[in-house]
Every structure is written in C-alpha cells, then in structure tokens.
C-alpha cells in the first residue's frame, strides 16, 4: 500500500518560500529545485535493499553495505529534468529513462509525445520525477507506462502537489509512494496549483518571456 509523505522541515519551508517568489530568477530557481530534491531522494530511498561488503580503510578492514537494487530515474519532460542531477549525485549508478508528457490546456488531459522505455528487463525500483503534481494526469500516465514495462516498485517525487493530483495517484496507483515537499490548497480554473509557483518548466529553463 502506497503512502503520501509530505516533508516537514524548516529548511524545506525556507527554500520552498524562495522558490514560490515570482521575483526569484531562473539562476536561483534551479539550485533551489536541487536543494529541495535532496530530502525527497533521502526519504524515497530509505527502503532500498542493500548487500554486505568488506572494504579496507587506512587502518583495517570493515564490513559495510552497498545498494543491491537496480534503480531507474524517470523524469517527466521537461520540468522533471531539473530534478535529475541531484538524484544522480546520490545514486550515481542509477539509470535514466525519459518520458515526454504534456497537459492539453483545453482538456487538462496528458498527451504522450516521447517514450523510449524498453520492452523487457525492468529495474527493481523506478523513481518518477515531476516538480508539480497538479491534476495528476501526467504522473498517473507515467506510472502506468512503468507498470506496463514491468516495474514492481515505483516512487513519485514532487516539489509541490495539489489535492486533486494526490487523490488521482492514490486512487489509480495505490501501491505507489508519493514524496512531496508541500501539498497546496487547490487548483485554479486553468489547472494550476494555488498558491503554487507558476510553471516550473518555464522557471527552470528561463522561457517565461518566449
């Protein structure tokens, strides 16, 4: 049974406040996304399996652990790309697979435009990255694609979520753990999270004026 993990920490609240500020430029927005991704990864990897190994320190041999799970990182294009690097810093051996989904602004339904997942040999664990969980359409579609690939353990990592998105993930994929920095109040008539932070992709890639 999946669980919704809403992070509670003074540093997360502080960084998230700066991220929401409309005057925060992309040059500051990107590292803030990175900083908020680290605690999400820490929590999401808490149950990864390990195996015993022995290493030699400058003084003696000591028994330790290394990860034994094969992990895939799956950013939802394009905003999810902003969360990839901090994940790989913590999981340098992880695979990266991309899924391209965008939301049709008239129907608010997800539209898939890129999927290169292989037909076999799924990883043990997949971590879906998407800064914003609004309606939940893109996230649930991505999770569905990973399940079709054969992934048994899936985790969804988001910076912000809205109640409809959380509800959609829980209802459609109740076995998936959701890790989120904050759950905001609601969606507006255009499907944007309120109070939110605007369009995460535009702010990460500095394309708001284009």
Is 57 part of a structural domain of the chain?
Answer: no
Number of domains observed in the structure of the chain: 1
- Confidence band for 209, pLDDT divided at 50, 70 and 90: low
Length reported for the chain: 210
- The two beta strands, 153-161 and 125-129, are parallel
pLDDT in tens, 31-47: 999 999 999 999 999 99
Owner of token pair 């808490």:
46
Per-residue pLDDT, averaged over 79-99, amounts to 95
Catalytic-residue membership of 103: yes
Is 54 part of a structural domain of the chain?
Answer: no
Is 115 part of a structural domain of the chain?
Answer: yes
- Confidence band for 114, pLDDT divided at 50, 70 and 90: confident
* Residue 10 scores a pLDDT above 90: yes
* Of the candidate ranges 61-65, 107-111, 175-179, the one whose mean pLDDT is the lowest: 107-111
Catalytic annotation, pick one of 24, 30, 69, 202 = 202
CA angle 39, 24, 106 (to 5 degrees): 85
194, 187 contact by CB (below 8 A):
yes
Is 189 part of a structural domain of the chain?
Answer: yes
Catalytic annotation, pick one of 107, 175, 207, 208 = 107
Is 116 part of a structural domain of the chain?
Answer: yes
Catalytic-residue membership of 66: no
Closest CA to 142 of 128, 153, 132: 128
CATH number for the domain that contains residue 126: 3.40.50.2020
178, 156 contact by CB (below 8 A):
yes
* Residue 63 scores a pLDDT above 90: yes
Catalytic-residue membership of 177: no
Is 210 part of a structural domain of the chain?
Answer: no
DSSP string, 119-180: SS---SEEEEE-SEESSSHHHHHHHHHHHHHT--EEEEEEEEE-HHHHHHHHHH-TTSEEEE
Catalytic-residue membership of 203: no
Cβ neighbours for 136, distance < 8 A, ≥ 6 positions apart: 164, 165, 166, 167, 168, 169, 172
Q: Which helix (H) or strand (E) holds 88?
A: helix 84-90
Cβ neighbours for 103, distance < 8 A, ≥ 6 positions apart: 109, 110, 111, 134, 135, 137, 138, 191
Catalytic annotation, pick one of 20, 78, 124, 199 = 199
| CA atoms of 165 and 114, how far apart (whole Å) | 22
* Residue 86 scores a pLDDT above 90: yes
Cβ neighbours for 18, distance < 8 A, ≥ 6 positions apart: 24, 28, 32
* Residue 102 scores a pLDDT above 90: no
Catalytic annotation, pick one of 70, 78, 103, 124 = 103
- Confidence band for 165, pLDDT divided at 50, 70 and 90: very high
- Confidence band for 119, pLDDT divided at 50, 70 and 90: confident
- Domain range for 74 is 4-49+64-205
Is 55 part of a structural domain of the chain?
Answer: no
Percent of the chain with pLDDT over 90: 84
* Residue 108 scores a pLDDT above 90: no
Is 11 part of a structural domain of the chain?
Answer: yes
* Residue 105 scores a pLDDT above 80: no
């Amino acid at each position: 049974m999946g669980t919704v993990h809403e992070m509670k920490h003074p540093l997360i609240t502080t960084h998230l406040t700066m991220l929401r500020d409309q005057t925060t430029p992309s040059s500051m927005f990107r590292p803030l996304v990175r900083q908020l991704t680290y605690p999400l990864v820490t929590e999401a990897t808490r149950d990864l399996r390990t195996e015993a190994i022995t290493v030699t320190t400058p003084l003696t041999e000591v028994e330790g652990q290394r990860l034994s799970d094969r992990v895939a990182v799956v950013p939802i294009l394009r905003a999810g790309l902003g969360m990839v690097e901090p994940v790989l810093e913590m999981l340098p051996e992880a695979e990266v697979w991309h899924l391209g989904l965008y939301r049709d602004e008239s129907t608010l339904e997800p539209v898939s435009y890129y999927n290169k997942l292989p037909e076999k040999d799924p990883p043990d664990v997949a971590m879906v990255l998407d800064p914003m969980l609004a309606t939940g359409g893109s996230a649930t579609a991505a999770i569905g694609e990973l399940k079709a690939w054969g992934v048994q353990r899936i985790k969804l990592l988001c910076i912000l979520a809205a109640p409809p998105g959380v509800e959609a993930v829980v209802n459609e994929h109740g076995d998936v753990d959701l890790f989120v920095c904050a759950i905001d109040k609601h969606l507006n008539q255009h499907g944007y999270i309120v109070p939110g932070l605007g369009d995460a992709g535009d702010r990460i890639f500095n394309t708001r004026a284009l």
